[in-house]
Amino acid sequence: MKIQIDRGRCTGIGMCEAISPDYFEVDDDGVLQLIAGEEVPETAVDEVNEAIRACPKAALSWSAS
């Protein structure tokens, strides 16, 4: 599965990083980076899903493709 970021919504709060630091990192400029890429292995889907649901701006989702 792939992570999708709506850059227009993300404000760099970093809730996602707090929950899933192996996948999300807010850089020094406040821009969210997918540090392991957008592809998520089955073993990490639950953790990333939790991060997606925790985003207060609803900026994260699973990509349909």
List residues near ligand SF4 by CB under 6 A: 10-16, 24, 26, 32, 55, 57, 59-60
CB 55, min distance to ligand SF4, A:
3
In angstroms, the CA 57 to CA 42 distance is: 25
CB 47, min distance to ligand SF4, A:
14
Nearest CB to ligand SF4, comparing residues 11 and 39: 11
CB 51, min distance to ligand SF4, A:
7
In angstroms, the CA 46 to CA 52 distance is: 10
Cα distance from N-terminal residue to C-terminal residue, the chain: 8
Q: Which residue has the tokens 């939790």?
A: 50
